[in-house]
Structure 1
Amino acid sequence: MADAPPPPASWAGLPFFRDQWPALWARLRAVPDWQPAPDVIFRALALTPRDRVRVVILGQDPYPTPGRATGLAFSFPPGQPPRDSLRNILTELAEDTGQPKADGDLAPWADQGVLLLNTALTVPVGRANGHKGWGWEELAAQVVQATAADGPRAFVLWGAPAQRLCADLPRDGHLFIETPHPSPLSAWRGFFGARPFSAVNRWLAARGEPVIDWSR
């Protein structure tokens, strides 16, 4: 690994890329066995440019299982059966909308303006939260602050870390959906039955915007 992956153009003006990214990249280069691959670290920001964000779904960090991290929060590689948090998300989706999603690849959501952003964009293989505190949180904070400043957005915040990151965002005009995390350890505490997908679509429709086809 040599040159740092460049930020997607629409997000490149965030101070993180000038002030923190060079040092963070140097730290990543010095350690082995992390994922996702460098060319997809910023995939969430690339697939959902700043001016197209309509919904923000925050995750924690990429899946640590080898080969599973895709650069999109909660998403699985195409063709892999969903497990754990994603399986619970898709279970709730089917119950909420009556339109099940056939697989765990969430890239079609990103294409519709759903920013699937993790608060840490890399993870050591086999060690969840291993890059927590490395500086990624500053990028996530800047992204959500910029997104909130750009106009009314829907923020879907599953779990305490996502909710803390957005605690200081202005509330006027935005939709905030806050529930427990969809992890198998916490989904039963209020994630199941929260109906976030239909709530987002009702809010978008009331604004005269196209709804998200969550079944894609």
Structure 2
Amino acid sequence: MPDPRIPDGWAGLPFFSEDWPAIAARLRGCDWLPGPGRVFAALELTPPQQVRAVILGQDPYPTPGHADGLAFSVTPETALPRSLRNIHAEMRDDIGAAPANGDLGHWARQGVLLLNSSLSVPPGQAGAHAKWGWDKLARQAVILAQAERPLAFILWGAQAQKAMAGLPRPQDLLIESAHPSPLSARRGFFGSRPFSRMNAWLTARGEPPIDWALSETTVAG
């Protein structure tokens, strides 16, 4: 299995010279998801100069064929996982629409950095690579993106809030709530309206809003 290509624009992060070689060596000896072609998908789709928002997940879905390398996102043909189903429900309540499937690639292409704290997972073993040192990448990536412009932080759950602690600045937007998982969504995620709040902030800054509900898999005709 070939090593993943480090995305242009992010290659200068200390992570890639200090931490990535050891992680890559460990990955060569095991079966893991989402695989080398998608492990850096979030960085590929959202270069540092295009980042406008950060949504941080935990680790890729451990079911083969589900993870696509973006936090909370799944391949278009995959049924919505429970947390993503709740994200769609909140989106419909907030802005009146939701995507046709669970592929969130169109968010990433509009400047939403959909990073996980850990970018690899063995099949069926959620969290097994969480202590491999991946977490340094997320913080370094966000700091690099902050050098370009103010960012919106949408942090769902204590894990994401702890991982990004100290990074949001006064000029950034910080939206924190409970995680959208079924165990916690009713403790503050539902009703938090993150999608309209971020778009209002972007509009006030003179930037185009995010088209959250766009479906790239349904084409008329």
The TM-score bracket by the shorter chain reads over 0.9
The AA in structure 1 aligned to 2:22 is A
The AA in structure 2 aligned to 1:200 is M
How far has the Cα of 1:170 moved from its partner?
A: 4.2
Residues 212, 183 of structure 1: alpha-carbon distance in 2 compared, 3 angstrom cutoff: same
TM-score under structure 2 normalisation? 0.94
Q: How many Å separate the matches in 1 of 2:208 and 2:4?
A: 33
Match 2:144 to one of 146, 149, 160:
146
Q: Give the 5 Å matches for 1:7-86.
A: 7-31=6-30, 33-86=31-84
The AA in structure 2 aligned to 1:46 is E
Do the aligned partners of 1:155 and 1:177 also contact (CA within 8 Å) in 2?
yes
User: When you count helix as a share of all residues, which structure comes out higher?
Assistant: 1
Q: How many Å separate the matches in 1 of 2:117 and 2:197?
A: 23
Structure 1 residue runs of 5 or longer lacking an equivalent are: none
Aligned residue number for residue 159 of structure 1 = 157
Task: Count the aligned residue pairs.
Answer: 214
Q: How many Å separate the matches in 1 of 2:21 and 2:167?
A: 27
The AA in structure 2 aligned to 1:187 is A
How far has the Cα of 1:202 moved from its partner?
A: 0.2
Do the aligned partners of 1:94 and 1:101 also contact (CA within 8 Å) in 2?
no
Q: How many Å separate the matches in 1 of 2:81 and 2:10?
A: 31
1:136-171 alpha-carbon deviations (Å, 9 max, x no partner): 001111112222233201010011111111111142
The AA in structure 1 aligned to 2:5 is P
Aligned residue number for residue 109 of structure 1 = 107
Please, what is the CA RMSD of the aligned residues?
1.0
Aligned residue number for residue 86 of structure 2 = 88
Aligned residue number for residue 187 of structure 1 = 185
3-state SS of paired residue (1:35): coil
The AA in structure 1 aligned to 2:182 is P
Do the aligned partners of 2:57 and 2:114 also contact (CA within 8 Å) in 1?
yes
Q: Give the 5 Å matches for 1:187-206.
A: 187-206=185-204
1:109-157 alpha-carbon deviations (Å, 9 max, x no partner): 1111111110100011111111011010011111122222332010100
Aligned residue number for residue 172 of structure 2 = 174
Moved more, 22-31 or 199-208: 22-31
* 1:211 paired to 2:197: no
Q: How many Å separate the matches in 1 of 2:69 and 2:63?
A: 13
Do the aligned partners of 1:75 and 1:104 also contact (CA within 8 Å) in 2?
yes
Kindly report structure 1 stretches of 4+ aligned residues shifted beyond 6 Å: none
Q: How many Å separate the matches in 2 of 1:170 and 1:193?
A: 22
1:69-111 alpha-carbon deviations (Å, 9 max, x no partner): 1000000101222121100101100100012221111001111
The AA in structure 1 aligned to 2:164 is C
3-state SS of paired residue (2:54): strand
User: What percent identity do the matched residue pairs reach?
Assistant: 59
How far has the Cα of 1:34 moved from its partner?
A: 1.4
Q: How many Å separate the matches in 2 of 1:210 and 1:188?
A: 30
Do the aligned partners of 2:177 and 2:189 also contact (CA within 8 Å) in 1?
yes
3-state SS of paired residue (1:9): coil
